[in-house]
Homo-oligomer: A and B are copies of this chain.
Amino acid sequence: MGKILMGPQTLIYPMPALLVGANVDGKPNFMVVAWGGIANGEPPMISVAIRHHRYTHKGIRQNLTFSVNVPSTEMVRETDYCGLTSGSKVNKVEACQFKVFYGKLDNAPLIEQCPINLECKVVHILDLGSHSLIVGRIEETHISESCLTDGKPDINKIKPLTYATAPDRQYQALGGVIAKAYSIGKELKAR
């Protein structure tokens, strides 16, 4: 069977479901972002794509700081709620019963219930069309003690969500380990 052309599509898998936070007019707000990823190694940076008119975008521009929080599968209701609603109309922190705390940066609100929290300082904002690509330097990383094994982050305890648009718009868990990285490929090397 062959290939079908679909025109230009934002079609990659998997995508994360991240809760991006900012203080807007001094109050913490969070939105869901599936369009984001690590942007640099040294120094550590992350990029997130956010529509210009979004309420969180306003807060990021106000403070030039933001947070990235990785929700677990147990938080799927709250995560989806943050995607369904706007902070301009509802208090998401209250509705989701998020315990908000702050770290090094004054205006990067972090969610206690999320296993991983990154505090970020804006280094670039690229206007790409419908969205801004916001690049932030990761200033600090917080991880829930309960998600560590032998002092290291454990993905089986973090239990992150992935977001998929096809066939339906849905959140999925991670599945089984397929192979060790930097290892299984050696079988081809040996050929």
> Bound complex: CA of A156 vs CA of B176, how far in Å?
14
Q: How many residues of A contact B (CB 8 A)?
A: 111
- Tell me whether A175 is interfacial, beta carbon within 8 Å: yes
Residues of B within 8 A of A1 (CB): 144-146
Residues of B within 8 A of A80 (CB): 179, 181-185
Within 8 A of B (CB), among A36-82: 36-47, 49, 51, 68, 70, 73, 76-82
In the complex, how many angstroms separate the beta carbon of A57 from the nearest chain B beta carbon?
14
> Bound complex: CA of A39 vs CA of B160, how far in Å?
21
Q: Quick one: which of B4, B16, B82, B188 contacts A96, CB cutoff 8 A?
A: B188
CB-CB nearest in chain B for A79:
B185
Copies of this protein chain in the complex? 2
Residues of B within 8 A of A100 (CB): none
Residues of B within 8 A of A40 (CB): 49, 128-131, 133
Please judge, given known A-B contacts A39-B133, A129-B42, A167-B149, whether A73 and B178 are in contact too, CB under 8 Å.
Answer: yes
Please state if A166 and B152 are interface contacts (CB–CB under 8 Å). Answer: yes
Please state if A70 and B141 are interface contacts (CB–CB under 8 Å). Answer: no
Of A83, A124, A143, A144, most buried by chain B (CB within 10 Å of CB) is: A143
Taking Cβ atoms with an 8 Å cutoff, the residues of A that contact B are: 1-16, 18, 34-47, 49, 51, 68, 70, 73, 76-85, 95-96, 103, 112, 116-118, 123-124, 126, 128-131, 133, 135, 137-146, 148-150, 152-156, 158, 160-164, 166-189, 191
| Complex A-B, nearest 7 residue pairs according to Cβ-Cβ distance, in ascending order | A80-B185, A37-B37, A175-B175, A81-B185, A13-B160, A40-B128, A173-B175
